[in-house]
Amino acid sequence: MTDASDATTQNPAPELRTELRNWCEAWKTCLQNVLSQVSGQPAPFEISSEPLPTADSDAWYTVVAGGAVHGEMTLRLPAASGTSLAQKFLGETEPAAAGIAADRITPDNKEALEELLRQIAGLAATALAAVTGGEVQLHLSAAAAPSWSSDVIVCLQTRDEAGASIIIEIQISPALAAELQPRVQAASPPQTSAQSSAPPAPPSLNVPPPASSYRRLMDVGLGVKLRFGTRNMRLRDVLALCAGIVVELDNPLHSPVDLLLDGRLIAQGEVVVVDGKYGLRVTDVVDPTPAAGSLV
């Protein structure tokens, strides 16, 4: 890969809050490290605000964050970028056949691309602990375009040896962006020697934030999902899925159905049918009030 600085000269990185920039910088660093390891050469990326056109052949991946922060983000790659990264991961030196990379990602390349992104997400989960002040879990899966409107959109961009652009777009959900802000603001500044000798201050009361701090987010549209159950599956079993196979879930029959907001459990209930559509009769709300210092 070549230096990406010329690709972003006319499109500098967008002005982001410190915590959001640190989040994106951590992903950029982990992407560079993993690609450098698999390709055996430097892979410098830049954070760019250059618009990325949407195409039906784009590959979408959802990353659900848990642990110190909760929320969702997406990774979007043009077919050509996805194919190029997959070939580097597989150690293929020959370029894709003309027209193939621009039109679609082959099943083999798509599988390799997903594994590459999982490795990057695994490394990012460790790096982001310093950003959030606690352990972070990241779950990556292939998905469609998100239902929520993005709070932040940036592109990680470089060029390969042939000069072709490789771009990964990051979209951060409003819920994740809101969770990141108080985490960084809550970090205490370094104490001076005079401060360190002073007696510790009494613990502060757990006072809810003023309503004005999160009222502006009340009209933000957020996607919610119903989760009937979960189970762990081996990769070979996932690849063997076909029409007619029954996947047994760990949840027992008639157990409550989970209502998720950006991957976070917010309520449970019973499935009902309303005017020919599925619905949820809420039976239990999980932590309905915002935590102190949180915007949502």
Kindly report the average pLDDT of the chain as a whole number. 79
Is 98 strand, coil or helix?
A: coil
Is 270 strand, coil or helix?
A: strand
Q: Is the same domain home to 133 and 269?
A: no
pTM above 0.85, yes or no: no
Integer Cα distance of 96 and 217 in angstroms: 45
Domain-embedded: residue 218: no
Domain-embedded: residue 147: yes
Tokens of 26: 């951590």
Among 180, 214, 247, give the residue marking a domain's end.
Answer: 180
- Looking at the structure of the chain, the number of domains it has is 2
Q: Measuring CA to CA, how many Å separate 290 from each of 215, 238, 246, 294?
A: 12, 38, 39, 6
Q: Which residues pair with 275 in a beta bridge?
A: none
Among 147, 163, 180, give the residue marking a domain's end.
Answer: 180
Q: Contact at 8 Å (CB) between 157 and 49? A: no
Domain-embedded: residue 254: yes
List, for residues 235-246, the tens digit of each pLDDT value: 888 888 888 888
How many residues in total does the chain contain?
Answer: 296
Integer Cα distance of 208 and 136 in angstroms: 24
CATH of the domain at 104: 3.40.1550.10
Q: Measuring CA to CA, how many Å separate 141 from each of 43, 81, 232, 251?
A: 24, 18, 14, 21
Domain-embedded: residue 198: no
Domain-embedded: residue 293: no
Residue 221 half-sphere exposure, CB side, CA atoms within 13 Å?
A: 5
Which residue range is the domain that position 227 belongs to? 223-287
CATH of the domain at 273: 2.30.330.10
Domain-embedded: residue 42: yes
Q: Which whole number is the average pLDDT over 113-121?
A: 93
Among 180, 205, 237, give the residue marking a domain's end.
Answer: 180
Q: Is the same domain home to 39 and 174?
A: yes
Domain-embedded: residue 213: no
For the cut 50, the answer to whether the pLDDT of residue 205 exceeds it is no
For the cut 80, the answer to whether the pLDDT of residue 57 exceeds it is yes
Q: Is the same domain home to 20 and 167?
A: yes
Q: Is the same domain home to 137 and 250?
A: no
Res 207: pLDDT:
43
156 phi, psi to nearest 5 deg: -100, 120
List, for residues 168-195, the tens digit of each pLDDT value: 999 999 999 988 875 444 444 455 544 4
Question: 119 Cβ partners below 8 Å, 6+ apart?
Answer: 34
